[in-house]
Structure 1
Amino acid sequence: MKHLSVGSRWNADLVAQLHEQWKQDPKSVDSDWQSFFEGFELGLALPPKPGKAGAAPASGGVDAVAQAKVLAAIHAYRTLGHLQTKTNPLAEPFPHFELTEKALGLDTIPANQVFYTGDFLGGTNLPLSEILTKLKSIYCNTIGVEYTHIQDGDRRRWLQERVESSGLRANYDAATRRFFLRTIVQGEQFERFLHRTFVGAKRFSIEGGESLLAAIERVIQRAPGLSISDIIIGMAHRGRLNVLVNVLGKKPEQLFKAFSESYVPDTTNGDGDVKYHLGYENSRTVDGKSVALTLAYNPSHLEAVNPVALGRARARVDLQNGSNRSQLLPILVHGDAAFAGQGIVMETLNLSGVKGYSVGGTLHFVTNNQVGFTTNPDEARTGRHCTEIAKFVEAPILHVNGDDPDSVALA
């Protein structure tokens, strides 16, 4: 009994038994239950905040077990909501059995009964139906978020507050949305031109993942406001040509020459590699400030660019005696199969917090193709998501529907 998880399916008698057991000896139950019951008792003791108009405040007569079930349902959505999101453009979400009202023990509770929401939405009192509606709206929409695996309480609560206060809703103005649209259309037109002009040429198109361009552009546009002046990108082949031209500003004619059958590369400086391996450096002016952009050269070996890009980032930090770590942002772009399947991903993540290798944090994008060359996900990995490996460094993970560019940019 002691090791029963808070997220387990509810049994009213068992919850009551654990509650009584905790009151006699708090250490007789797991730490999760200790925290849960402490918060529950605190919630009942605090004066309720006003809820939605017409909602009566919870009274001392509220069934304690029913109240506990509601607080546990909030925890369940925070933990499992990402399993029921609308993040797959190719399929509708399938209801997760642990999030059904029956599994949560809420099926016998009147929908209009008012409950205290704890640390959800500022601790207001709301009807059960409204609590569930808000939970589904935040945690089961086009952005799925995983953060409850983070052990640092301050970091976890900060993320939780950001997620729930924003509702994970993008409220961009018309000008910003037009900017995203223009970025995506430019990317699509670029790929169509390459397809028509260089028929059959190997190019590793970004088609289907154009929202990545909007996401990277959003990062660049926000960089000056965050005092970031240097961005180093490491990515594989898919979408690389598009990023070279439409993000880093490489001249299209320079790239098109590499498609010509008569093209002879200048190998005097060792730059005679194929076009989708080449890197580039440039700078862009954003809000009157210069942002240096670097795309690292990339071999055919999947994910091998990761330590190269991060090594360059660390070298730049060291050259400044470690003073510019917050001014530099490494970005790594992965494919789903490679991120889950290549050991170098884990090795690089493992060094991320080691003093001699840390770069102060890296932003990872994983383009989920839902296939690895010819291999389906269920034949390639054990985890539900291709990003499971990132949990061991307690990184927050956001899953986003690629057909919703506003949400991609928000995430």
Structure 2
Amino acid sequence: MQLLLLVRDVQANGHMIAQLDPLGLDVLDDLDLGLYGFTEADLEREFYLGVWRTTSGFLSGSRPVVTLREIIGKLRQAYCGAVGYEYTHITGRDKSDWLRDRIETAEPVPYDKDRRLVVLESLIRSSRLETFLATEWPTTKRYGLDGGETLVAGIEALFDRAADLGIENMIIVTSHSVRLNVMANVLQKPMCQIFIERTVRLRPVQGDGDHTPIYTGTGELHLQQGASCDLPT
């Protein structure tokens, strides 16, 4: 039970100690074995994982007996490296298992330099757009993508994979918080068009009876716009 609590905790919260700072300036708390009743002396202790054969991930591998050191090493590799994952909030068991199978691999998924540069470019584009919008319209409700910039790189990868599988048309529906960034950086909607829609002010429309103009505006309609495009793959 203690080991199970340790594994579940890292799966759910390992992203909190992931090494996301490329400069190494952030000092993060390390995994405290004492919270789960373990000590350094238990690292070479072997645990039988046969009872977990029905679970997915590397803990359901062909080796039923594994040391605590190996288990922690695999958990660190999967959840506390340069990429953090949050998926345990997903209610569907089949969906969370599908993600865990792709996170808890025997070896980390390799990314060559070219692929890393593509992801970096996507992150920079999405981050710079949010910075510009926050600076240009500091008092306007904009539902920013701040903190979720990886979504842009993820959608681009999704489109590429869909094309590999022969899918020709896709329709995506997004929340307010990501719409502007997705339209600009994924669907390649012209920035000038997006900015024009954001700067539309109150405008008069003809009133009834006394011909008094009634002023109306777009409200949040600029966040409810859409876009379509043909993307090369």
TM-score (normalizing by structure 2) = 0.64
Q: Which amino acid aligns with 2:229?
A: N
Q: For each residue in 1:49-82, what CA deviation from the matched residue of structure 2 results, as whole angstroms up to 9, or x when unmatched? A: xxxxxxxxxxxxxxxxxxxxxxxx2x44454433
Query: 1:123, CA displacement in angstroms?
Result: 0.9
Q: Indicate which of 63, 83, 97 corresponds to 1:123.
A: 63
Q: 1:130 to 1:233 in 2, by over 3 A?
A: same
Q: Does residue 85 in structure 1 map to residue 17 in structure 2? A: no
Q: 1:212 and 1:91 mapped to 2: Cα distance?
A: 26
User: Which of 148, 157, 164 does residue 209 from structure 1 map onto?
Assistant: 148
CA distance in 2, matches of 1:283, 1:248: 8
Q: Distance in 2 between matches of 1:206 and 1:148?
A: 21
- 1:279: which partner in 2? 226
The structure in which a higher percent of residues are strand is 1
Q: For residues 100-147 of structure 1, what are the alpha-carbon distances to aligned partners after superposition, in whole Å with 9 as ceiling and x for unaligned?
A: 441xxx559753344554353421654332233323443566224439
**8 Å contact from structure 1 (residues 112, 128) kept in 2:** yes
**Runs of at least 5 residues in structure 2 that lack an aligned partner in the other structure:** 21-25, 54-58, 204-217
What residue ranges of structure 1 are gaps of 5+ in the alignment? 1-6, 10-72, 265-271, 287-411
Partners in 2 of 1:138 and 1:195 — Cα distance?
34
Q: Per-residue deviation at 1:275? A: 1.1
Deviations 1:181-238 (A, max 9, x none): 1112122332333344456444333233222211211211211123333332222222
Structure 2 match to 1:357: none
Counterparts in 2 of 1:8-47, with a 5 A limit?
Answer: none
Computed over aligned residues only, the root mean square deviation of the Cα atoms, in angstroms, reads: 4.0
How far apart, CA to CA, are the structure 2 residues paired with 1:199 and 1:110? 54
8 Å Cα contact 1:77/1:135 also seen in 2 = no
Q: Percent identity?
A: 24
Cα–Cα, structure 1 residues 248 and 112, in superposed 2: closer, same or farther, change >3 Å?
same
| Conserved 8 A contact 1:187-1:242 | yes
* Total equivalences in the alignment: 201
Change in CA separation of 1:137 and 1:172 when aligned onto 2, cut-off 3 Å = closer
Relative distance call for 1:278 and 1:156 in structure 2 (3 A) is closer
- Once residues 128 and 203 of structure 1 are traced to their aligned partners in structure 2, the CA distance between those partners, rounded to angstroms, is 47
Asked which structure has the greater RCO (Cα within 8 Å, sep 6+), the reply is 1
**Structure 1 Cα separation of the partners of residues 36 and 223 of structure 2:** 50
SS of 2:230 mapped into structure 1: strand
TM-score by length of 1: 0.40
Q: Distance in 2 between matches of 1:260 and 1:108?
A: 61
Q: Deviations over 1:74-104 (max 9, x none)?
A: x44454433431248899579689x8441xx
User: Which of residues 255, 262, 276 in structure 1 aligns to 2:194?
Assistant: 255
Q: In the alignment, does 2:224 pair up with 1:224?
A: no
